[in-house]
Structure 1
Amino acid sequence: MPRNVTTGLDGTPESLAAADWAAREALLRGLPLRLVHAWKWQPYTYTPLGGVSLPPEAIDTERSWAKRVRDEAEAVLSRRYADLRISASEVAEQPVPALLAAAEEAEVLVLGSRGLSGVAGFLVGSVALGVVARAERPVVLVRAGERADNEHLPDTGGIASAATPYRDVVLGLDLENPDDTVIEYAFDAAARRAANLRVVHGWTLPPYYYGYGGALDPELNAELAAQVRRRLTDALRPWRGKFPGVEVNEQAVIGGAGSHLVDASRDAALVVVGRRKRHTPFGSHVGAVTQAVLHHASAPVAVVPHD
């Protein structure tokens, strides 16, 4: 099945920033870009026998607006990225199911998320969170205002530039479940950008050590830290061999990984985290670390689902 980079459009500044990021990602991957706008209007009141129907003129207005959003975005991106193959479509469906269906044909799905006013980070809406929690393909969230030069180091004069080397790609790695899909995505992203890969693993002392005074034993703590670092090195060794051009910086940090990944995002091009595919009676689940990164990271965040 032909693959692409897909982005969801809704006419908001955050979706346009996501579309621009998706265009650059498509060029990095040598893939076409697909723009998708889901325009179906959900009635907000219902009758007992089956709901309220929209009048034809309202449906026509919504369809016309969707086409305008698509056409304007396609025109801007075509001018900005002349070598990029772009296709666009409107889908008469609710946003979450429409985007989940579009993701099935994509290497990656890119969505916009509102930046928190005055604070670095995201405000993740119900559509984005619903897609992230259920998608079978990687989903990248891009906040409003994200520009190409944000991914790059400043030039020698300290000025933002898209012509300088990329900032680090940051990977949050769970050593209890070091899934190959997540690790490969991060190494591949770093390789395509000729960027360094910073791997962050958070760890804590086992609870039983506190009962025996272990938390107060510097030698024991140092040995445990060394064991964690060795496990991290062992987990990454095969991937260093597969991606010899990627320089890797390993960080085994004490405490939960979420806050450390948020800190690392401040000078990162991309943060990569995993999401285990597990369904509960109350819907799909997004883990605590991924939640923290989604809501507080200041760089684009790639959420990679895995078994």
Structure 2
Amino acid sequence: MEKHSHEHHHHHDISSISKNKLFFVIIFNFIIALAEVIGGSISGSLSLISDALHNLSDTASLILSYVSIKISEKPKNKAKTYGYKRANILAAFINSAALIGISIFLGVQALEKLTSLKKINANIVIVVALIGLLGNFLSVIILKKGAEKSLNVRSSYLHMLSDAMASLAVIISGVFIKYFAIYWIDSVLTIFINMLILKSSYNILKESINILMQTTPVNLDMDDVKEQLLKIKEIKGVHHFHIWTLDENNIVLEGHIEIDDILVSETRAISDKIEHILNEDFHITHVVIQFESTSCEDNICKI
């Protein structure tokens, strides 16, 4: 006999809030990048122009995040029975991978600049980078709350945080260049900052890959789940268990439960007990259970 039990907890929906915030940050970030391109061209600072390119690439990533949130809001249909929730995970994967690429590119550029003694206008660099820092810091504050609940928004938040630190590095290097004529400081700070960004980006990339590959959540022990279910007196055995993450807020479980040969209507009480344990103890929000009778000969009921 087969019984499908579904229980969904409604989590606080931040998509509309995040979407509006992202739109504001996109416009704001584009203006900052434009200012840095102009400032870098006038001052002759490759550091500012590199930071502008970083900002422009992050603007593209923010647009991707914005679009993915819009897509994720689309209702489910016959082809997409789970809906479009994983659009956010795809965006997080692309954004984190792009940030890793950008960090490596800027790190290589910084190494090449170590021997550069090119004269630049430090005053323009400091002023424009300061504007960039304030703008990026504001973007970080705007996205911080959403980053705690969404992997997609977290990847955008990380982009803005990396831009803020890059702007800070440009300011510090501008000060050292202006007062001490130390040109290599910019490259050293850029390499250090990008090493930190690489670590954070890798963590988001790894998490998004695990979700896309339907990996069992790291904080869930499959054996522990089975052990808790076997404490229900009606359950004689459990097997063919699969647990995976649909998105940041939804964990899915499917499995076979062995019970005595009873009426289908009598399985409702068992289902309620299963759902209660899975929801309360493991935060599993979507449950699909197939009941099997222990009276099956030679285990022919098992798949």
User: What is the TM-score normalised by the length of structure 1?
Assistant: 0.24
More strand, by proportion: 1
Which structure is richer in relative contact order (CA contacts within 8 A, separation 6 or more)?
A: 2
Q: Which has the larger radius of gyration?
A: 2
More helix, by proportion: 2
